[in-house]
């Protein structure tokens, strides 16, 4: 399950073999197995990753699509204009808020659910797990539409709040509430993933530690802070990274629910990139996407370090 290379893979078990010739024979076969993947990978994955970076230093627009010789190298110009564009900076702030508020909230709720399912109850676990996980498998576009209607001024949520005499705001058109509303929906959709990861982690907490703590008279809360949480460090950090990477790319939610409004309050960096692409500013869009990519790479590196430490 961990990324560690299995030490057994490289060794031929037989005692009297000539590993050299066998290895070179296998090299040919192995690259044969990898070839179809590799060709598609270079064309549709590695190529575009490099091309995106290269494009971000040019002035390529939709007009250059058929005549690539009209493209000029412009150095860092796209990046400079990006950071001078108030809308782009706003999109970075919104994306950061989305991650910094959404990730901890998702993790806290998922951890509570996982703890309850793991320790607190004996029956209906599968039912609960299916229920909490269900939003994860659904199309964001589809559930965003449903949530848009739920969050309407006369929608389900305000109807519910009205029962308690609370007059809810116009969630998606209110400059203050629009982004929290999208965060709320994203939290709802992602609890299930982290719940499953945390459940797996909780099963790995040594029972003896809990028993020892109980003998010492530790309360359940003390056991959580001093036994469960330290043992759960790897899955918690892992969950933070993958949720962070996912949340950094949020796009469907503002596209369907708010179109980035009101007044750019929900404009995400991914949506900004898509808009610039739509205007035909291909190189400018590439630069914007690379800024986002950089943030994702930083998160991924943190994760590699964490996993590396484990090995």
Question: Restricting to residues 253-292, which ones interact with other proteins according to CB under 8 A?
Answer: 255-256, 259, 270, 273-274, 277, 282, 285-286, 289-290, 292
Output 79 or 133, the one with its CB closest to other proteins.
133
CB 151 within 8 A of CB 161: no
Q: By CB under 8 A, is residue 303 in contact with other proteins?
A: yes
Torsion of CA 285, 287, 292, 298, to 10 degrees: 160
- Shortest distance, CB of residue 9 to other proteins, whole angstroms? 7
Displacement of CA 33 from its chain's centroid (Å): 31
Helices 47-55, 282-310: axis angle to 10 degrees equals 130
Spatial CA neighbour of 144 closest among 194, 105, 189, 195 = 189
Nearest CB to other proteins, comparing residues 104 and 119: 119
| Contact positions with other proteins (CB under 8 A) in 130-149 | 130-143, 145-149
Interface with other proteins includes 43 (CB under 8 A)? yes
Which residue's CB is nearer to other proteins, number 27 or number 83? 27
Q: Smallest gap, in angstroms, from Cβ of residue 97 to other proteins?
A: 18
Site string for other proteins, 60-99 (x = CB under 8 A): x----x----------------------------------
How many residues interact with other proteins (rule CB under 8 A)?
A: 123
Residue 148's closest CA among 264, 266, 244?
266
Candidates 77-85, 95-103, 156-164, 167-175; binding stretch for other proteins (CB under 8 A): 156-164
Give ∠ CA 110-115-117 in degrees, rounded to 5.
Answer: 95
Give the one residue of 76, 89, 214, 229 binding other proteins; rule: CB under 8 A. Answer: 214
Please list the alpha-helical segments (H only) found in the chain.
19-41, 47-55, 77-84, 86-115, 125-133, 140-150, 156-163, 178-203, 207-215, 220-223, 229-231, 233-248, 252-257, 269-278, 282-310
Select the residue interacting with other proteins from 76, 108, 156, 161 (CB under 8 A). 156
Among 96, 105, 300, 302, binds other proteins (CB under 8 A): 300
């Amino acid at each position: 399950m961990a990324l560690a290379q299995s030490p057994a893979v490289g060794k031929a078990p037989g005692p009297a073999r000539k590993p050299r010739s066998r290895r070179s024979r296998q090299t040919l076969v192995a690259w044969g197995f990898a070839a179809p993947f590799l060709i598609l990978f270079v064309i549709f994955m590695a190529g575009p990753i490099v091309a995106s970076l290269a494009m971000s230093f040019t002035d390529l627009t939709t007009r250059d699509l058929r005549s690539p010789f009209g493209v000029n190298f412009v150095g860092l110009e796209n990046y400079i204009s990006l950071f001078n564009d108030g809308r782009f900076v706003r999109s970075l702030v919104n994306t950061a808020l989305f991650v910094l508020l959404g990730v901890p909230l998702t993790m806290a709720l998922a951890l509570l659910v996982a703890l309850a399912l793991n320790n607190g109850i004996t029956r209906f676990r599968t039912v609960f797990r299916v229920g909490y996980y269900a939003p994860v498998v659904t199309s964001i576009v589809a559930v965003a539409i449903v949530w848009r209607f739920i969050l309407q001024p006369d929608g389900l949520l305000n109807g519910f709040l009205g029962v308690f005499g609370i007059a809810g705001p116009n969630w998606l058109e209110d400059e203050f509430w629009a982004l929290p509303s999208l965060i709320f929906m994203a939290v709802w959709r992602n609890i299930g993933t982290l719940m499953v990861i945390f459940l797996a982690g909780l099963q790995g907490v040594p029972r003896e530690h809990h028993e020892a703590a109980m003998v010492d008279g530790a309360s359940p809360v003390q056991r959580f802070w001093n036994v469960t949480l330290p043992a759960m460090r790897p899955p918690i950090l892992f969950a933070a990274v993958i949720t962070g990477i996912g949340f950094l790319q949020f796009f469907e939610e503002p596209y369907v629910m708010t179109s980035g409004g009101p007044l750019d309050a929900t404009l995400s960096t991914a949506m900004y990139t898509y808009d610039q692409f739509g205007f035909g500013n291909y190189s400018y869009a590439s630069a914007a996407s690379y800024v986002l990519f950089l943030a994702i790479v930083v998160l991924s590196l943190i994760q590699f370090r964490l996993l590396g430490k484990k090995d």
